[in-house]
Structure 1
Amino acid sequence: MATVYLHIGAPKTATSSLQAMLAAHHDDLLAAGILYPATCRHGDAHHVLVADLIDKYQANPMPDIWYGDFPRGQAWSRLRAELAAAGPTVHTAIVSSELFFGQSINIERMLGDIQAALAGHDVRVLMYLRRQDQLYASFYNQDVKGARQWPGSAYEFYETHQIFQRDYDQVVDMWGAAFGHANLRVRPFEPAQWPGGDMVKDFCQVTGLPPLRAVGAEPNDGLGANQLYIKRCLNHMGYDKADNDRVVGLLLNLCKESPLKSVRYVNMGCYGRLRERWTRTNQRLGAVVGDGGNFFQAPVPEPAAVPEYALDRALLGDFLQRLLAAGLGGHLGSLRGLFARAALLVIAEQGLWDAVSGSDRVTFESWV
């Protein structure tokens, strides 16, 4: 039976690009005896496999946007059927979803279901780990920007999101206990540790794939500081997840700003405590799956070396004026009320009473 590689993430480690590449090369890979299953995918990734486990073992089922037209509850049976139908010519299968990595609630039972579904196959688990400060900053930004529509602070995000409930070494131990530590492939998301600085080469070498070329995936840049704040205000208002791409596209047109790179969303004391914890974790991780040193070559930077998250009041004022002009010009469509409510929240929270006149505030109110 085929060896199955479970590529479980972590999030923000180019998973979407790898999934797009594997889906685009499906036929070529199959001709080489490598299956990237197609019948249990919605889009390029195998998120529906994890979504079905979440539906089964966690209180809040995944929104329909994760499924599209895919029927709930059928992902694992479809995977088993596709693996069985592939026959002896297929020696390797790759299943990829970063949602695997982020689960902690009832994860032991989830792992039991995965073991049962893949019984008879050699299973190898591949995870790429991004340095924790980078993951925290990038993932928070993405959850505010994306369809999850996170409305809260970075403090709340870290304390409540499942992905931060276990340290990296604990995640490694958990998956190793389920599938054997010898079957784990744990790689740093750090170009200095990839062959030629190329992650695709690293992925192909680890999984035994023939050399592949990356394909043009949609860019997944984060938001700028002020865009992020405005999107949080929009998320506070609440709207259909299916409209999220439209909302983001309109926001990017109304507020021009470069994406955030290195940033510290929390105060120096909180970051310092997190840094100590992450540093200890990386030392333990290096001892377990590395060469005995730190898992990452570059250390987590000191708090003072990371720019603090800050807003630009002038840019927020410019956004309000652009929004007003767009609304008066009929360019906001069905999203006018949503953006007007968010604009009033921006004005109130940031004290931008001088950025728009009283009559303009009345105009925003009339759109609500």
Structure 2
Amino acid sequence: MVARVFVHVGLPKTATSYLQTILWSQRDALRERGVVVPGSERRDHLWASRTVRHDPAQRRAPEHHRTAWRRLVEELGTSDGTGLVSHEFFAAASADQARAMVAELPTDDVHLVVTAREPLGLFTASWQESLKNGATTPMPDYGRDESPKPTAIWNWRTLDLRLVLERWSQAVPPERIHVVVLDPGAPRDDVWRRFADVVGFSPDGIDLSGSFPNTSMGVAEAETLRRVNGSLEGFRSAFDRGVYIRTFLADERLVPRRGERFWPEPDQVADCRRRGEAAVAHLRSAPYDVVGDLDHLRVPDELEERRLTGSVTDAEVAGVAVDLVATMLGDVRTLRRRQARTPGATGSRVVRRLPGGLRRLAGRALRVGRRRG
């Protein structure tokens, strides 16, 4: 069995996608360095988090989803070296669920890794991420409570560093909890190098070319997506939200517009500032291993001028929507032309030549067509 296990629980929107992309694309290289990322695919860690958090949706999920946590534990039990499990949704676990998860791991030497950043940027980014997952909540109504439910992801339950540490420190002692504080002025690979140092392997020679930043939308683009979500019907599955809303529409069509940046409401900014100070005080109250500068967990006293989401006009939304229609019409034409230029080619061959989200979109349509045929 592995000698020890590191459980990376987020927080959400703290370079988790960036880190996980590297971990999964470089699993073989990490295995050679004694680090085991268990599972057959990246989503195994997501599905495992649902089992750990007793998500009711897991009871209706396919067997492969429901058995993910068991398979991860079994692989760690038959492997050597250091185990590494990573998904930001573990942050929502209750103290009892955290204790149960740690107890099931095949070693007593369990460490927690928590990546963290200042709460205002985190809060703003998390609202956008909720929209990319199909939400319709306006910014002024977002983050107004601390949910008691371990299924609540886009909530202060997972975004407030102090709350997450208070629950998880009942399962893992503070001296084995490593808080990696993101430095907003550091090079892009800084968090990767510090993460590797915590887990105990050299980051040198690891290919980072497949990693990507999870970029934000502008204020008019975010409001347009929020309204589109309110008109969508039938886009409820995780696959549909991930491929159609998040990747195809948000990341590949709205983000590249590079719209204007924005802040939450003034009282939400004040709440973020209070939570940042509380997190710093909590970290100083116990022997946590803090990797980075605690001041980077504080909301700056002076903030640059940015728009509020309520300032977006109907005319701005209409302008974004018109551009979207034009772009997506071009996507359809590209698909049709490539099909026409490839006489006798299979649908799969045509789909493989398409870019990014359009390739995934067309691929899903092709699979659905085959099932119906």
User: TM-score higher than 0.5 here?
Assistant: yes
**1:254/1:119 Cα in 2 relative to 1: closer, same or farther (>3 Å)?**
closer
1:50 aligns with 2:46: no
For the residues of structure 2 that align with 1:70 and 1:177, how far apart are their CA atoms? 31
1:133 maps to: 120
> In structure 2, the residue corresponding to 1:234 is in which secondary structure?
helix
2:294 maps to: 295
For the residues of structure 2 that align with 1:330 and 1:135, how far apart are their CA atoms? 33
For the residues of structure 1 that align with 2:47 and 2:97, how far apart are their CA atoms? 14
**1:191/1:201 Cα in 2 relative to 1: closer, same or farther (>3 Å)?**
farther
1:272 aligns with 2:273: no
**1:198/1:218 Cα in 2 relative to 1: closer, same or farther (>3 Å)?**
closer
> In structure 2, the residue corresponding to 1:126 is in which secondary structure?
strand
For the residues of structure 1 that align with 2:329 and 2:279, how far apart are their CA atoms? 53
* Residues 5 and 82 in structure 2, CA contact (< 8 A), matched pair in contact too: yes
* Residues 173 and 181 in structure 1, CA contact (< 8 A), matched pair in contact too: no
For structure 2, the residue ranges without an aligned partner over 5 or more in a row are 334-373
Question: What is the one-letter code of the residue matched to 1:186?
Answer: V
1:344 maps to: none
1:150 maps to: 135
**1:15/1:324 Cα in 2 relative to 1: closer, same or farther (>3 Å)?**
closer
* Residues 47 and 68 in structure 2, CA contact (< 8 A), matched pair in contact too: yes
1:305-326 deviation line (CA, Å, top 9, x unaligned): 4523232555334335446767
**1:30/1:247 Cα in 2 relative to 1: closer, same or farther (>3 Å)?**
closer
2:360 maps to: none
Give the one of 82, 85, 89 matched to 2:78: 85
**1:277/1:219 Cα in 2 relative to 1: closer, same or farther (>3 Å)?**
closer
For the residues of structure 2 that align with 1:149 and 1:324, how far apart are their CA atoms? 19
Question: What is the one-letter code of the residue matched to 1:116?
Answer: A
Higher relative contact order (CA closer than 8 Å, sequence separation 6+): 2
**1:195/1:126 Cα in 2 relative to 1: closer, same or farther (>3 Å)?**
farther
* Residues 127 and 185 in structure 1, CA contact (< 8 A), matched pair in contact too: yes
User: What is the 5 A alignment of 1:44-123?
Assistant: 46-54=45-53, 56=54, 58=55, 60-61=56-57, 71-86=64-79, 90-101=80-91, 103=92, 107-123=94-110
1:222 aligns with 2:216: yes
**1:177/1:313 Cα in 2 relative to 1: closer, same or farther (>3 Å)?**
same
2:22 maps to: 21
* Residues 223 and 258 in structure 1, CA contact (< 8 A), matched pair in contact too: yes
**1:217/1:315 Cα in 2 relative to 1: closer, same or farther (>3 Å)?**
same
2:162 maps to: 169
**1:121/1:12 Cα in 2 relative to 1: closer, same or farther (>3 Å)?**
same
Shift of 1:273: 4.1
1:315 maps to: 316
Shift of 1:195: 9.6
Shift of 1:150: 1.0
Question: What is the one-letter code of the residue matched to 2:300?
Answer: P
Shift of 1:84: 2.3
**1:259/1:93 Cα in 2 relative to 1: closer, same or farther (>3 Å)?**
farther
1:258 maps to: 258
Which structure is larger by alpha-carbon Rg, 1 or 2? 1
Question: What is the one-letter code of the residue matched to 1:93?
Answer: G
Question: What is the one-letter code of the residue matched to 1:111?
Answer: A
Shift of 1:75: 1.6
* Residues 6 and 110 in structure 2, CA contact (< 8 A), matched pair in contact too: yes
For the residues of structure 1 that align with 2:313 and 2:120, how far apart are their CA atoms? 23
For structure 1, the residue ranges without an aligned partner over 5 or more in a row are 333-368
Shift of 1:203: 1.0
For the residues of structure 1 that align with 2:156 and 2:69, how far apart are their CA atoms? 27
Shift of 1:280: 3.4
**1:259/1:221 Cα in 2 relative to 1: closer, same or farther (>3 Å)?**
farther
Aligned residues: 312
1:32 aligns with 2:22: no
Question: What is the one-letter code of the residue matched to 2:144?
Answer: E
For the residues of structure 2 that align with 1:176 and 1:6, how far apart are their CA atoms? 13
1:231 maps to: 225
Compare 279-288 and 179-188 and name the one that shifted more. Answer: 279-288
TM-score w.r.t. length of structure 1 = 0.72
* Residues 8 and 88 in structure 2, CA contact (< 8 A), matched pair in contact too: yes
Shift of 1:12: 1.2
